[in-house]
A and B are shown apart, each in its own frame.
Chain A
Amino acid sequence: MSSTADLSIAPMQGTFLSRRPLLVFCLLICATVLLLLLNVAIGSVQYSFSEILAVLRAPFDTSTASAIIWNIRIPRAIAAVFGGAYLAASGLLLQIYFRNPIVGPYILGISSGATLMVSFVMLTTVSAGLTMLSPYLNTLAAFIGAYVVMLIVLAVANRVGGGATLLIVGLMMGYLCGAVSAILTALAEKEKIKGFVLWQLGSFSGFKWNEITLLLLGGGLIIVLLYCLSKPLNAFLLGEEYAASLGVNIRRFRLLILLCSCALAGMITSMAGPVAFIGMAVPHMARLSFGTSDNRILIPGACLMGAVVTSLCDLIARSVMAPVELPLSAITAFFGAPIVIFLLLKRRVKL
């Protein structure tokens, strides 16, 4: 057998230390750090480099510059990084689970559920007595909407299993929620619609530090859990039946995957509104850049790539026509779609 001789010559692709993934990882980490810095330094209010440094050194200053940099720009930069990472991870999970390349984190109706609850709060008088909950009213409502949909999805998955049935149920729930939102929009006072339409466009603007903490802790836990699931996730690349024959506990795995994906998507949607495109396109970008389907590489890889893409698009959205803010989802699709097409054509890979 020639196997022992081969071991030394060609290390197996997919192990951590093979060259291409390592290179791409380094690039992405550098890009993330760079974009974080740029996002803090650039904004619609101009500050010189020395001013920014001075502010960074004195975090408890009460000047406007300090408020802007510490309370507005830094949370937003961090939110964009983590928001993009979580959305990309969520999309990756669902694409593997459904073995469908055009699936995104909102396919199961998560964002529709969040939109529905937010429309209740913003467009009707239901929330009139709840002002003690602001400024978290919208976030809380979206959170409830997203996670209720998630619970329904998990319950359905428990009964009918995964695959096309679950997908269709999720789609239908999305349509249902969308329909009710549309009715509420039609009947609402014109004054209130402005704000609601704004929310629907999704943005990382306005993050507060306690939201950032929740994002880091809650989402971080889920990402760690996810990384521990990367082995059964790899097995799942072969489909549910082969994965079962390999020793994966399919029922438990199914619930965990859906839980992680919907929890991540729901968290971002409740805090930033529906951000389109990242969850669907970034996993493809990651797969094509790293050149592998191994999830031990792809999970952190997609997270990093999502962070880079989202940070960059956020920077563009708020700088191109400063101080006017362009919708984030439009920028992400505008730049992301050609990149995915280019990568696909270059590699000629059957996805």
Chain B
Amino acid sequence: MRGVSVRSTAEILLVGIVLLVFLLSGCRQEASQDSDKEDRSGGEARPAFLQIGEFAVHRISANRTEVRDGAGRTLILIPRGAPVPDDCDPRHVVRTPVKRVAAYGYFDVAALRMLGVLDEVLVGVTVPEKEWARCSADVARGMREGRTAYLGDASSIDFERLKQMEPDLVLTWDPSSLPLLDDLHIPAVITSTPQATCLSARMRYVQFLAPFFGREKEADAYFARIDAALRDIRARTAGAGEQPKVMWGDIYEKRVMVEPGNAWVGELVGLAQSSYQFEDVFGTSCIEISVERFLYSGETADIFFTYRSRESGASSKEAIARLNPLIKDIAPLRSGRVFAPQPCYIQSMDKLDEILTEISAIIHPDLYPGYMLKYFDELPDRDTAHDKDTRS
């Protein structure tokens, strides 16, 4: 879409709305009836059936909501005090609102924060306190005060500790923990999916979690915020003169990995009037590709995002180039720009709107004058002495 001249604001809005509709239906298995109903009713009439990628929420009655998690398992949400119907398997019944949650990783913790229930319900995490201390003061505080326990690494949970914290619900990505959780009579939700999460699923994930806590309003508000950010991005970048080319991946001594094109990153990049160099690569998460393709795509790229933060080896463009001389000639390392996530990036998924905006600002800096980077660092050309000291 180079060189298309814009005629009027009306046309911009039209294009924007059309493209937004395309975006919302771009993910597979997306039903579109939900958004209309929400807008009209103003929050009171809940949608009967909501599908977000693999996840689904089906409100059957005031006292019964069925949800389907990322592994296709069905859980039945029944408010406290209401009777449990006979046809329900008690192992799959979750009493709402959930009061105690153990969550794996970072994303679900951020989701809890999005719903505003983190301080009350979080009782178990899989990351030690010192990792939270820098970026998530609320979680760190909860751990200091003993409300939240460190359950061990996600690959080796201390189930005794978990049972000790008596969670009502476990948010996990590890299906192999299900039998054990079943034995302990703790309901669990599988939060990972076979395919990479598309942008829409990321946005709507809170709407899937919301029924567990009765925080549908907060979820909707969050969705609206992200939605607004996306609209803003679309609006701002519609007039962009250029379409920068973006790469997202990582470089090792002999191998390279990239984020696949069907993940939310690829979508966002397309949304922000730029092209993702690995659009054709499919996968669930970062995946290895051939060095030659990386080099080939890199020769024409403008911006490169790495996975690793500056402390983990991506300290400067020169440092990265030295890691793997075969791809040192890719354009971002020579004359383009390279960005690494800041340490708090991974804990900030509740600020998805800001992250999306920042990525857009990175891609089109001229459209966002005066923007201060909060989640990414631009890598300098060379390691400074200061960097060498702070590393290690």
Contacts and interface: CB of A to CB of B under 8 A. Distances in A.
Contact of B290 (A128, A138, A198, A318): A318
B17 interface: no
A44 B323 contact: no
A135 B391 CA distance: 18
A194 B322 contact: no
Nearest to A68: B292
A324 B281 contact: yes
Interface residues of A, number: 37
Given A45-B296, A207-B254, A131 B312 contact: no
B377 interface: no
Nearest to B308: A191
A206 B288 contact: no
B63 interface: no
B329 interface: yes
Interface in A51-74: 64, 67-68, 71-73
A75 to B, nearest CB: 9
B283 A125 contact: no
A68 B253 contact: no
B371 interface: no
Contact of B293 (A192, A198, A323): A323
A194 B291 CA distance: 17
B106 to A, nearest CB: 10
Contacts, number: 104
Given A191-B308, A199-B255, A324-B283, A129 B392 contact: yes
Contacts of B329: 67
Interface string A25-63: 000000000000000000111000000000000000000
Contact of A45 (B153, B255, B293): B293
B384 to A, nearest CB: 14
A45 to B, nearest CB: 5
Interface string B303-317: 000011100100000
A208 B286 CA distance: 25
B288 A208 contact: no
B137 interface: no
Contacts of B326: 67, 71-72, 206, 208
Interface in A111-129: 125, 128-129
A55 to B, nearest CB: 12
Given A67-B329, A191-B307, A191-B312, A137 B292 contact: no
Given A134-B322, A134-B323, A135-B253, A205 B291 contact: yes
Contacts of B391: 128
A208 B291 contact: no
A208 B253 contact: no
A189 interface: yes
A346 B292 CA distance: 41
Interface of A: 43-45, 64, 67-68, 71-73, 125, 128-129, 131, 134-139, 186, 189, 191-192, 194-195, 198-199, 203, 205-208, 318, 322-325
25 contacts: A43-B290, A43-B293, A44-B289, A45-B292, A45-B296, A72-B291, A128-B391, A128-B392, A131-B322, A135-B324, A138-B252, A138-B253, A186-B153, A191-B307, A191-B312, A192-B308, A194-B250, A194-B307, A195-B252, A198-B252, A203-B255, A205-B291, A206-B254, A207-B254, A325-B289
Interface of B: 153, 155-156, 250, 252-255, 257, 278, 280-283, 286-293, 295-296, 299, 307-309, 312, 319, 322-326, 329, 391-392
